[in-house]
Structure 1
Amino acid sequence: MAFQPIDRDTDYLLPPSVQDWLPKAHLARYVVDVVEGLDLSALERAYAGRGSDAYHPATLLSLLIYSYATGTFISRKIERATYDSLAFRYIACNRHPDHDTLATFRTRFGKEFESAFVQVLQVARENQLSRFGTVSLDGTKIHANASRHSALSYGHCEKIEAHLKAEVQELLALADAADQSTVPDGVSLPEEITRREDRLAAIAAAKVKIEARAKERFEGEQADYEAKMTARAAKEVATGKKPRGKGPKPPESGPRANDQINLTDEESRIMKVAGGGFEQCYNAQAVVDTESMLILATDVTQACKDKEQVEPMVAKVQANPEGLNQPDTWLADTGYFSAKNVDVCLAAKIDPLIAVKRDEHHPDWRDRFTEPPPSADDASPVAIMKHKFKTQTGRAAYALRKQTVEPVFGIIKSVMGFRQFHLRGLDKVKNEWTLVCLAWNLKRMAVLRPQ
């Protein structure tokens, strides 16, 4: 059996040119080609021009996009990859930006990722990768960079607060006593008092924030309550009869005992996750083109439910440049349904297909081949939309939702490996989600490009 020789003393372990390191169709080449063709003048102007020469923004942005596309999210690991990986070496031009440079760039220029995101979509449009006619909206819960065990409820705050205040009084009494023989050896009473007072100050700050959230929630619930009462009164005047059933219950002001705040990332929220249980999460939203599976718009919200996300996501899509801002059809599941959301889509000249209820698991086979009678001429927008769901065309269009937006989330989480945000705070998390979706779009465009 003949073996190849073990030789580590060759003068060139790599080809002398970085262009010879990777295959022509490699993803790293495509990322570099697209990013270096973007208008990054806003990023370039942000550099002061003092000190040693900085790494070019195109290099750092390409490194971040490729690292997120291939499942490397930690700046120290990205720095290490510029030594270990040929693809990372190629992007970095055989240089090695340190982890602090990468982390600072990601945090400092997070807002500029939105401009790059839109420009990449324009590249996809110019290359005719899609007509961007039908889009799907969905959300997914992504873990925050915080543990749910770091959450503190309002009720627990009050219990700990009372306990700590009692301990402070006890320690103060011991400090004032002439005989301190009962104090264990090694105990510094001033330090123990200061430690508890610091904790009391932190708890007081947490309570203030919980109370502010409770006030905001009460104002929203009060507005809904007054709107419902006004509607009931108008119905009573119109019909001359008192509406049936109990009236809406007025909201209660003030924080509840189970209202929580997370001490690590206070802007994250406890949310129910797939598979059961609750975790500290954010709700990431994405509008996905059904033809190309490219993401057209992104957002992150603290709301556990999706119902209020249609209007802001429609606005985000319409803020895109021409050719990317006017889809024909809008698909969404039952979590997004409301009469208001239907009206929002129609006002934006978009045909909504938002599921009103879950379909039966085993409908009669004849339903797939039958058409319903025409809808009434005076039917409401919701009734018209419900009628479309009964048609074969409507059912076929809505079927695209499950096979486009949900696979995108699945690939981002299971293939790219992005299951948790690495930054903290809503604004930074939004920027990181934009970076994730930017990486997905370039990864997808590399597959869709003509070979």
Structure 2
Amino acid sequence: MSYGRMVSEEERLEAEIRSMLHKAATIDNLEDQKFGDRRGDELPDELANRQARLARNREAKAALEAEARQRAGEDSEPDTDPPGGDWIKPRRRQSKAGTPEAKAQRNFTDPDSRIMRSSNEDFLQAYNAQVAVDADSQVIVAATATNQAADAAHLISMVSQIESKVGEKPAELSADAGYFSEANVTWLLKQRIRPYIPPDKQRHGELRRVKSLRGPIPKQATLRDRMRRKLQIRRHAEPYQRREQSVKPVFGPILRNLAFRQFRLRGLPAVQGQQLLVCTVDNLLKLYGAKHVA
């Protein structure tokens, strides 16, 4: 529900509750006069429901206001670019400092979730599931779920999770365009990890249709330009194209065999636990299958 609707809904519910309380008190007095003073102090169902809705409305409204105040404080700080400089601080629209926009939204049943755009361009109340997969075995080596829609913000934490679980850093890393930023590429290079992350969204098989480039790279080329050129060269395009046989096939069995198409729990900690459980089951099935094949 939007913040503007929350404000009007709060006013409407308060007026209805006052009216119903007055009506209930009048009826109670009349019944006491007619039947005497007896137990009847339970609130009517319709009044109790409205009070519960009012409490949830106020809680969600307060949360949106707290987030707006926090953003206002962040926006007042000077902007600083991370390594690489390929980052622009988003300008958030607010009616005034510390006040949410009228269209700001919060889900009553699962406040941790966020509205996100799906692969088919629909908008859903959702979480962002993240996985990292070993290219050779298709075993999931890192996984989590977050309520941040952008993928690029998760790359460094996922690589750190890989290192903590596997015991070493990956030699190379392939990811889709959603994970590209000059800050991420710069960080991977400093970690001596070869990055294969296109700066532009790629259509299926698009890299295969590009002829290998020749000649020196222009001196004025940005890191984005260099990555774009790198992935147009055959020997670098092939590691990226391996994603079609490594990461993408992982999701099919999870959707088909485990019938896991949506999170069935609410709240970020519970969703993260379910994500880890599903990935663990998928890994166990792979290990079981590998043992019997061998």
TM category, shorter: 0.7 to 0.9
Compared CA separation, residues 299 and 379, structure 1 to 2 (3 A): same
Q: CA deviation at 1:440?
A: 1.0
Matched, 1:215 2:87: no
Q: CA deviation at 1:175?
A: 5.0
Compared CA separation, residues 343 and 220, structure 1 to 2 (3 A): farther
Compared CA separation, residues 201 and 353, structure 1 to 2 (3 A): same
Matched, 1:273 2:118: yes
Matched, 1:204 2:53: no
Q: CA deviation at 1:398?
A: 0.9
Report if aligned partners of 2:110, 2:266 keep a CA contact under 8 Å in 1. yes
Report if aligned partners of 2:138, 2:246 keep a CA contact under 8 Å in 1. yes
Partner Cα distance (1:367, 1:196) in 2: 62
Secondary structure (helix, strand or coil) at the match of 1:167 reads helix
Partner Cα distance (1:320, 1:348) in 2: 17
Larger radius of gyration: 1
Structure 1: unaligned runs, 5 residues or longer: 1-151, 182-187, 229-247
Compared CA separation, residues 351 and 193, structure 1 to 2 (3 A): same
Report if aligned partners of 1:372, 1:390 keep a CA contact under 8 Å in 2. no
Report if aligned partners of 2:133, 2:246 keep a CA contact under 8 Å in 1. yes
Matches within 5 A, 1:248-287: 251-252=93-94, 253=97, 254-287=99-132
Report the equivalent of 1:338.
181
Report if aligned partners of 1:283, 1:303 keep a CA contact under 8 Å in 2. yes
RMSD (Å), alpha carbons: 3.2
Deviations 1:31-56 (A, max 9, x none): xxxxxxxxxxxxxxxxxxxxxxxxxx
> Which of 224, 227, 238 is the matching residue for 1:396?
238
Report the equivalent of 2:85.
none
TM-score by length of 1: 0.53
Compared CA separation, residues 168 and 337, structure 1 to 2 (3 A): same
Partner Cα distance (1:296, 1:305) in 2: 21
Report the equivalent of 1:320.
165
Structure 2: unaligned runs, 5 residues or longer: 31-40, 82-89
Report the equivalent of 1:356.
199
Partner Cα distance (2:68, 2:129) in 1: 23
| Residue identity opposite 1:153 in structure 2 | S
Matches within 5 A, 1:94-105: none
Partner Cα distance (2:249, 2:14) in 1: 53
> Which of 202, 210, 214 is the matching residue for 1:372?
214
Report if aligned partners of 1:269, 1:280 keep a CA contact under 8 Å in 2. yes
Deviations 1:369-394 (A, max 9, x none): x3432335786544443332121111
Q: CA deviation at 1:412?
A: 0.9
Report the equivalent of 1:309.
154
Partner Cα distance (2:268, 2:144) in 1: 10
Report if aligned partners of 1:175, 1:189 keep a CA contact under 8 Å in 2. no
Secondary structure (helix, strand or coil) at the match of 1:435 reads helix
Compared CA separation, residues 424 and 358, structure 1 to 2 (3 A): closer
Deviations 1:344-396 (A, max 9, x none): 2112221111111134679798734x343233578654444333212111111
| Residue identity opposite 1:226 in structure 2 | D
Report if aligned partners of 2:207, 2:231 keep a CA contact under 8 Å in 1. no
Report if aligned partners of 1:287, 1:296 keep a CA contact under 8 Å in 2. yes
Secondary structure (helix, strand or coil) at the match of 2:145 reads strand
Aligned length: 272
| Residue identity opposite 1:316 in structure 2 | Q
Q: CA deviation at 1:261?
A: 2.2
Choose between structure 1 and 2 for higher RCO, CA contacts under 8 A separated by at least 6 residues.
1
Partner Cα distance (1:331, 1:390) in 2: 14
| Residue identity opposite 1:171 in structure 2 | M
| Residue identity opposite 1:165 in structure 2 | E
Partner Cα distance (2:248, 2:209) in 1: 28
Matches within 5 A, 1:52-71: none
| Residue identity opposite 2:245 in structure 1 | Q
Secondary structure (helix, strand or coil) at the match of 1:274 reads coil
Matches within 5 A, 1:129-148: none
Report if aligned partners of 2:132, 2:140 keep a CA contact under 8 Å in 1. yes
Secondary structure (helix, strand or coil) at the match of 2:79 reads helix
Secondary structure (helix, strand or coil) at the match of 2:216 reads coil
Partner Cα distance (1:364, 1:209) in 2: 45
Partner Cα distance (1:375, 1:353) in 2: 17
Partner Cα distance (1:315, 1:448) in 2: 27
Partner Cα distance (2:56, 2:16) in 1: 16
> Which of 252, 270, 274 is the matching residue for 1:428?
270
Matches within 5 A, 1:42-191: 152-175=1-24, 191=44
Compared CA separation, residues 412 and 219, structure 1 to 2 (3 A): farther
Report the equivalent of 1:41.
none
Report if aligned partners of 2:213, 2:229 keep a CA contact under 8 Å in 1. no
Compared CA separation, residues 249 and 429, structure 1 to 2 (3 A): closer
Deviations 1:137-163 (A, max 9, x none): xxxxxxxxxxxxxxx332221121111
Q: CA deviation at 1:302?
A: 0.1
| Residue identity opposite 1:421 in structure 2 | F
TM-score by length of 2: 0.79
Compared CA separation, residues 445 and 221, structure 1 to 2 (3 A): farther
